[in-house]
């Protein structure tokens, strides 16, 4: 939270900052990178008003992909999923904000892009579950876990966006 100025102009922002700030791990999957959708996807979260705290292009190992998706280990599509995620570079992102986990899931849309609402990333830009271009954590706990998995502490930045007082009263 930023410090209150003597004029009190940031006081409402200080009060708002008492709300729970969450983190989510968002990843542009290899198909999103290959299709040139990195900027478009980053832009959706940026325009919404969330805070970017980590960003990198990264070729992940089979081990990391398996750890990330460990809850899906028993599924028939698991080997294909690991091949897909490791098939090329991904863009790893950490985003922060009040309600960011649930909101990011809404911005991303349903797992099956054909079921995803128009206006969502998957609804606008993809056609198949096996090529659904983007990942978003499904809970604040998983947000923390996944950011810890994909980023070192030194790769994450704490900063105060200049627009903060214009986003939240």
C-alpha to C-alpha distance for 30 and 7, rounded to whole angstroms: 49
64-103 residues near ligand ADP, rule: CB under 6 A: 72, 77, 81
* Crossing angle of the two packed helices 100-108 and 140-150, in degrees rounded to 10: 80
- CB of 101 vs ligand ADP, minimal distance in Å: 11
28 contacts 134 by C-beta, under 8 angstroms: yes
Is residue 125 part of the contact set for ligand ADP (CB under 6 A)? Answer: no
Residues 6 or more apart from 15 whose CB is under 8 A from it? none
Q: Which backbone phi and psi does 62 adopt, to 5 degrees? A: -60, -40
Q: Which of 43, 59, 61, 111 binds ligand ADP (CB under 6 A)?
A: 111
**Chain Cα centroid distance, residue 53:** 10
| Nearest-approach distance from CB 49 to ligand ADP, in angstroms | 22
Which residue number, 25 or 151, has a Cβ lying nearer to ligand ADP?
Answer: 25
Q: Is there a binding annotation on residue 80?
A: no
Distance between alpha carbon 133 and the CA centroid of its chain, in Å?
12
What separation, in Å, do the N-terminal and C-terminal C-alpha atoms of the chain show? 13
Minimum distance of ligand ADP from residue 74's CB (angstroms): 12
Q: Which of 40, 67, 124, 138 binds ligand ADP (CB under 6 A)?
A: 138
Contact between 53 and ligand ADP by CB under 6 A: the answer reads no
Which residues of the shown chain bind ligand ADP in the complex (CB under 6 A)? 72, 77, 81, 111, 129-130, 132, 135, 138
Residues in binding site for ATP: 29, 77, 105, 111, 122, 132
């Amino acid at each position: 939270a930023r410090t209150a100025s003597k004029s009190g102009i940031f006081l409402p922002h200080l009060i708002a900052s008492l709300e729970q700030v969450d983190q989510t791990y968002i990843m542009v999957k290899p198909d999103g990178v290959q299709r040139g959708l990195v900027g478009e996807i980053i832009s959706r979260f940026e325009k919404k008003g969330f805070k970017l705290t980590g960003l990198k292009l990264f070729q992940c190992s089979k081990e990391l992909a398996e750890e990330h998706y460990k809850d899906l280990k028993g599924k028939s599509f698991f080997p294909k999923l690991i091949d897909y995620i490791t098939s090329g570079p991904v863009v790893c992102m950490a985003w922060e904000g009040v309600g960011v986990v649930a909101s990011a899931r809404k911005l991303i849309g349903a797992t099956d892009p054909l079921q995803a609402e128009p206006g969502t990333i998957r609804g606008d830009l993809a056609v198949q579950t096996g090529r659904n271009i983007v990942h978003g954590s499904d809970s604040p706990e998983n947000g923390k876990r996944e950011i810890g998995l994909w980023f070192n502490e030194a790769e994450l930045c704490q900063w105060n966006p200049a627009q903060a007082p214009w986003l939240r009263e």
